[in-house]
């Protein structure tokens, strides 16, 4: 930006455009609305259950029968989509993740419940095996190694099952090579050409996922780590290569995960490709803000909204965030 475009002080005073609320609103560069949010919701078995998650204060696992109420709330708030994540019964977890292929598994029943009760709300489901794998990994483990191609074959079958249950968006979050092309082909061949793919294209091997693994029950099962398939947090150019690959394979939208520690990646992706770009404000990010707010160390509402506007400022078209309903209420009340 050429500084000569502005006259020097005192002719130019930037504070003129900050002196009152109405003028700050008028010249604001970045805006946030409920339509920019996807609400991740954890689902569990049972009836009438809302079970708090200790490592995610304010977030609960809910039984399927309570999901329509949440979907109606989202629709009323202007949140366009729920992302559903299952806490699978440990007895159903196996090394081959067979429960992922069950058309009547927990997340498929949850999807049908939402789409039946509130057809106007979108449903997103992850395509990955960690909720179903007794090893806690996103893929199949053989002799201590995550096998890529065998995993991709299972992911294709999982994707078709989830699309058949009514999912509108599928999010391959496994980070296997070649999975987007294979899933797109499987969906099209099964008659699900209209189901969109929001690829977790740049998903990092991050320390910020811990509370999520508590929420779905995979933390204790995880053997080793996920560094052989999730990205090195030190890498930036690699993220652009991963996004380019997924787009070439048929991804409709792409995601960066985690969010706030990777805003530079969000901006690079949006600038390089100009495609719908999302970020996931993951469980650890949420827990840090919420814990600090509950301890009185910061203003929780202001920190929440500041973090969300940061995603939009970095070029994100949308954000998956556990703050979605609270932020949407604040935005509605401020309108």
CA torsion angle for 171, 175, 180, 182 (degrees, to 10)?
Answer: -120
Asked if residue 11 belongs to a domain, the reply is no
239 pLDDT band (50/70/90 cuts)? very high
Three-state DSSP at 256 gives strand
Alpha-carbon distance 149 to 275, whole Å?
28
Look up the CATH number of the domain holding residue 79.
Answer: 3.20.20.70
- pLDDT at position 4: 66
Which one, of 127, 216, 110, 138, lies nearest residue 171 by Cα? Answer: 127
Across residues 92-101, what is the average pLDDT?
96
Q: Is residue 15 part of a domain?
A: no
Q: Helix (H, G, I), strand (E, B), or coil: what is residue 124?
A: strand
Q: Which residues pair with 44 in a beta bridge?
A: 63
**Residue 93 included in any domain:** yes
**Any domain includes 26:** no
Tokens representing 317?
């078209």
257 is catalytic: yes
- Domain containing residue 313: 31-334
Q: How many structural domains are present in the chain?
A: 1
Average pLDDT of the chain to the nearest whole number: 95
115, 203, 226, 270: the catalytic one is 203
What does the alpha-carbon distance between residue 89 and residue 216 come to, in Å, rounded to a whole number?
Answer: 10
Residue 22 domain-assigned (yes or no):
no
pLDDT at 3: 62
Residue 8 lies in a domain: no
**Residue 1 pLDDT more than 90?**
no
Evaluate whether residue 275 is within a structural domain. Answer: yes
Does position 326 have pLDDT exceeding 80, yes or no?
A: yes
Convert the pLDDT of each residue in 34-66 to its tens digit.
999 999 999 999 999 999 999 999 999 999 999
CA pair distance 118, 312, nearest whole angstrom: 28
Percent over 90 (pLDDT), the chain: 90
**64 in a structural domain:** yes
DSSP 92: G
Write down the catalytic residue from 115, 226, 257, 270. 257
**334 against 166, higher pLDDT:** 166
| 152 three-state secondary structure | helix
Look up tokens 């811990």; give the residue: 210
Mean pLDDT throughout 10-39?
94
203 is catalytic: yes
- DSSP tag of 90: G
Q: Rounded CA gap, 128 and 158, in Å? A: 8
**Residue range 124-151, pLDDT digits in tens:** 999 999 999 998 899 999 999 999 999 9
What is the crossing angle of helices 300-313 and 263-273, to 10°? 30
pLDDT for the residue numbered 223 = 76
User: CA of 304: how far to CAs of 11, 58, 184, 231, 323, in Å?
Assistant: 36, 13, 35, 27, 7
The DSSP secondary structure of 38-81, one letter per residue, reads EEEEEEESSSS-EEE-TTSTT-EEEEGGGHHHHHHHHHHHT--E
Q: Beta-carbon neighbour count of residue 89 at 10 Å?
A: 13
Neighbours of 29 (CB within 10 A): 6
Q: How far apart are CA 278 and CA 94, in angstroms?
A: 32
138: left (phi over 0), alpha (psi -120 to 50) or beta: alpha
The answer, yes or no, to whether residue 274 has pLDDT greater than 80, is yes
Q: What is the pLDDT of residue 7?
A: 87
H or E segment at 156?
Answer: helix 148-164
Q: What totals of helices (H) and strands (E) does the chain contain, helices first?
A: 11, 12
**Which pLDDT score is estimated for 328?**
98
Which whole number is the average pLDDT over 240-260?
A: 98
User: What is the structure's pLDDT at 108?
Assistant: 98
Beta strand 50-52 with 60-63: parallel, antiparallel or unpaired? Answer: antiparallel
**Mean of pLDDT values over 176-191:** 98
Residue owning tokens 């002080």 = 9
């Amino acid at each position: 930006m050429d500084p000569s475009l502005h006259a020097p002080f005192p002719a130019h005073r930037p504070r003129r455009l900050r002196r009152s609320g109405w003028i700050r609103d008028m010249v604001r560069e970045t805006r946030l609305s409920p339509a920019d949010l996807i609400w991740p919701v954890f689902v569990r078995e049972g009836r009438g259950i809302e079970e708090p998650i200790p490592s995610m204060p304010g977030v609960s696992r809910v039984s399927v029968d309570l999901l329509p109420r949440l979907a109606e709330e989202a629709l009323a708030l202007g949140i366009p989509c729920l992302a559903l994540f299952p806490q699978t019964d440990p007895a159903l977890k196996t090394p081959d993740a067979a429960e992922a292929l069950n058309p009547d598994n927990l997340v498929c029943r949850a999807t049908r419940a939402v789409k039946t009760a509130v057809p106007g709300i979108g449903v997103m489901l992850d395509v990955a095996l960690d909720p179903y794998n007794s090893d806690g990994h996103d893929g199949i483990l053989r002799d201590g190694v995550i096998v890529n191609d065998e995993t991709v074959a299972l992911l294709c079958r999982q994707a078709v099952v989830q699309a058949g249950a009514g999912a509108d968006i599928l999010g391959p979050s496994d980070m296997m090579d070649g999975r987007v092309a294979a899933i797109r082909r499987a969906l099209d061949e099964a008659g699900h050409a209209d189901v969109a793919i929001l690829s977790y294209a740049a998903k990092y091997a991050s320390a910020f996922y811990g509370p999520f693994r508590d929420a779905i029950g995979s933390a204790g099962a995880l053997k080793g780590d996920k560094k052989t398939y999730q990205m090195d947090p030190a890498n930036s150019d690699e993220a652009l290569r991963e996004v380019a690959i997924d787009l070439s394979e048929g991804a409709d939208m792409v995601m960066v995960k985690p969010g706030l520690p990777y805003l530079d990646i969000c901006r690079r992706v949006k600038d390089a490709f100009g495609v719908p770009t999302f970020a996931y404000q993951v469980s650890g990010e949420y827990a840090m803000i919420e814990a600090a707010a509950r301890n009185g160390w910061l203003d929780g509402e202001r920190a929440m909204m500041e973090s969300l506007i940061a995603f939009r400022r970095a070029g994100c078209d949308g954000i998956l965030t556990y703050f979605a309903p609270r932020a949407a209420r604040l935005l509605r009340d401020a309108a």
